Amino acid sequence: MTEQAARTSILGILTRWLPARWRRDVPVVPVVRLSGAIGAVTPLRPGLTLAAVARLLERAFSARNAKAVALVINSPGGSPVQSRLIYLRIRQLAAEKKLPVLAFVEDVAASGGYMLACAADEIYCDPSSILGSIGVVGGSFGFPELLKKIGVERRLYTAGEHKAQLDPFLPEDPHDVARIKALQREIHDVFIALVKDSRGARLKGEPDKLFSGEYWAGNSSVALGLADGIGDLRAVLRARFGDKVLTPVVAPPTGMLAGLLGRKSGAGTALGSEAMAGLPEHMISALEARALWAKYGF
């Protein structure tokens, strides 16, 4: 055996003893879960924000031997700003690292959740997944008659003609409604442009239908071009990269490590006086998040 052959043989033996994730011949596809309402915060679970997921995304796209990055999405939407910020960060990292991105929808990728899915080069879903809801919604309650009934006088002082617009304790003003609808149309146009840029010629439905705020199950979503196919993460990645593909989940630290790193969520201090003082607001946020899920039957 020549010296070169001996070296090759020894190197082969050593390589087989290395952990699979360190071996160059084993493909790796890091997995990042994007789950929950976007931007909403509750006492027990923070919502999805760029600040919460930026480090996870950086780790996923920097993984050794990564052939792609997989996003597992389960979100009914929420903040349009945070949705777009996360979308942009994913696309920026994909371009920098030259890695394809594959999205796998679980229960829901609707509204802002679908915007997250659009950050992927390909979108896969289950036949019972719900996708779409490309629109903008907002709402409130009105209590002016209740105040009169219980004998409460509303006193409001503002500097600025429109500072108190849509105040729930004042009668609804048609001009305020027109302004909020114009604002919604502007945000909706941004959403539509993002979907068109992401999906391109794959979109098959009429724009008036696709961008009406309607949502669809998996097979219909594929037919409309909102998704690329029916499939689960394990099957699709094995078919694409082989049976030996590794799919490590990139997750935030938990327990003692989270505390040492100072990354524990607000749930870790839920019994503190500051958290207790804000409990009513947290309860409202929790109800709003619950309402987002309930809209899609979950």
Residue pointed to by tokens 């997944």: 129
Residue 187, burial from CB neighbour count under 10 angstroms (0-12, 13-18, 19+): middle
Task: Say if residues 89 and 83 touch (Cβ distance below 8 Å).
Answer: no
Distance CA 86, CA 21 (A): 27
Other Cβ atoms less than 10 A from the Cβ of 109: the count is 33
pLDDT at 14: 44
Average pLDDT of the chain, as a whole number? 81
Task: Say if residues 75 and 109 touch (Cβ distance below 8 Å).
Answer: yes
Distance CA 109, CA 292 (A): 12
| pLDDT tens track, the chain, 298 positions | 566 655 555 545 544 545 555 556 799 999 999 999 999 666 556 789 999 999 999 999 999 999 999 999 999 999 999 999 999 999 999 999 999 999 999 999 999 999 999 999 999 999 999 999 998 776 667 666 776 778 777 776 777 777 767 677 677 778 877 888 888 889 999 999 999 999 999 999 899 999 999 999 999 999 999 999 999 999 999 999 999 999 999 988 765 545 454 444 443 344 444 444 555 555 555 666 666 666 666 5
- Residues 26-82 have pLDDT tens digits of 999 999 999 999 996 665 567 899 999 999 999 999 999 999 999 999 999 999 999
CB-based contacts of 275, cutoff 8 Å, min separation 6: 43, 266, 269, 282
Task: Say if residues 296 and 105 touch (Cβ distance below 8 Å).
Answer: no
pLDDT at 165: 72
pLDDT at 32: 97
pLDDT at 266: 40
Distance CA 140, CA 153 (A): 20
